[in-house]
């Protein structure tokens, strides 16, 4: 989600309008604002993003919004969020509001609790956008006009019962953008395919028959094209089908790899070149799925990929892989 809202800052005004009923005036423009607070001789604090609403006529700031994406409860945020708001407010000299975006309802309830800044008389009440506010249905015209919002809707609701129609509409809208070679479309597609179950994605590809059955990622498109050319050359439909299926499989693996990198990046975890090569060369769907789940909770990338680390005695030890750790716990 951090990657999505960073690449598509125009998503925030649309979320405010649809999810919170906040309409911005017509005579303003929305720009990205500073994200780092340098105040009080403390370490820098960086928000996930900010928005500055300025008057078009003179460029004066009317309002600022500090945007935070929260995937789980973190009580430390109760101390850093007020610092973010105070720093941005002092820097821009305009009213400043905290907006928290989360894909989980339990986290939304936690984030909506008022923060007591002092004696119960100075209270910070965040605006919260949770899964209940993010649309679970969209029509095709709406998805075409707001593809980033459609992508976020799939990221939040894509694996829930009854979400197939939403996923198909989002896929079609983003695929049209790909055909038009519009910037940022590949990112949207990777996020959607990583948010839909593999079986459901395969069934939707079969049902939709988009364009020439081109798979949805760059590698997938290339693999399918190779298979299709081989089928024509040899005059066998079997070659075409094999190339198409190979493209779909590799496309899904590539989407999972990109999702793993996005999760690690959003959590501030650094991946080495050796770990990246191991990720790129992994052909095992189950392993990639396991890494994707574990990327949400591991404390270091070495724990995810089983990278050796030194023990207190100085000897090199190897971190157990997520699968091996799970089996050990079960025993």
Which pLDDT value is given to residue 113? 93
Half-sphere exposure of 321 (CA within 13 A, CB side): 9
Which pLDDT value is given to residue 130? 93
| Closest CA relative to residue 201, chosen from 156, 248, 245 | 248
Q: Which residues of the chain have pLDDT under 70?
A: 34-45, 208-247, 307-331
**Where are the strands (E) in the chain, listed by range?**
28-32, 36-37, 45-46, 49-55, 61-69, 96-101, 115-118, 122-124, 127-129, 308-310, 316-318
How many whole angstroms separate alpha carbon 227 and alpha carbon 232?
Answer: 9
Which pLDDT value is given to residue 129? 93
Sign of CA pseudo-dihedral 46, 1, 72, 110: positive
Four-point Cα dihedral 154, 112, 23, 50, nearest 10: -80
Cα 114 to chain centroid distance, Å, stands at 27
pTM above 0.85, yes or no: no
Gyration radius of the chain's alpha carbons: 23
- Maximum Cα interatomic distance, the chain, rounded to a whole number of Å: 80
How many whole angstroms separate alpha carbon 189 and alpha carbon 181?
Answer: 13
Which pLDDT value is given to residue 327? 46
CA geometry: angle at 173 spanning 291 and 205, to 5°? 60
Q: Helix axis angle, 164-179 relative to 185-194, nearest 10°?
A: 160
CA geometry: angle at 10 spanning 167 and 82, to 5°? 105
């Amino acid at each position: 989600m951090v990657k999505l809202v960073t690449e598509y800052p125009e998503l925030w005004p649309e979320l405010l309008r649809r999810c919170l009923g906040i309409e911005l005036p017509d005579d303003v423009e929305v720009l990205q604002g500073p994200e780092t607070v340098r105040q009080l001789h403390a370490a820098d604090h960086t928000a996930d993003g900010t928005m500055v609403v300025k008057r078009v006529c003179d460029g004066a700031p009317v309002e600022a919004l500090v945007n935070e994406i929260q995937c789980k409860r973190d009580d430390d945020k109760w101390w850093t969020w007020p610092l973010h708001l105070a720093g941005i407010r002092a820097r821009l000299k305009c009213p400043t509001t905290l907006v928290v975006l989360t894909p989980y309802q339990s986290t939304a309830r936690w984030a909506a609790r008022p923060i007591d800044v002092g004696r119960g008389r100075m209270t910070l009440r965040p605006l919260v956008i949770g899964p209940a506010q993010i649309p679970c249905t969209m029509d095709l015209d709406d998805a075409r006009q707001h593809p980033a919002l459609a992508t976020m809707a799939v990221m939040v609701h894509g694996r829930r019962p009854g979400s197939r129609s939403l996923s198909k509409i989002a896929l079609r809208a983003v695929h049209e953008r790909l055909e038009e070679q519009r910037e940022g479309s590949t990112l949207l597609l990777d996020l959607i395919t990583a948010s839909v179950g593999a079986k459901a994605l395969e069934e939707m590809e079969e049902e939709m028959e988009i364009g020439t059955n081109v798979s949805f990622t760059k590698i997938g498109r290339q693999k399918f094209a190779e298979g299709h050319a081989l089928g024509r050359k040899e005059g066998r439909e079997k070659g075409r089908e094999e190339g198409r299926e190979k493209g779909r499989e590799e496309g899904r693996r590539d989407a999972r790899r990109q999702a793993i990198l996005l999760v690690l990046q959003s959590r501030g975890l650094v991946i080495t070149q050796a770990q990246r090569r191991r990720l790129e060369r992994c052909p095992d769907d189950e392993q990639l799925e396991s890494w994707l789940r574990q990327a949400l909770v591991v404390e270091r990338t070495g724990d995810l990929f089983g990278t050796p680390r030194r023990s207190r005695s100085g000897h090199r030890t190897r971190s157990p892989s997520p699968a091996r750790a799970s089996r050990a716990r079960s025993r």
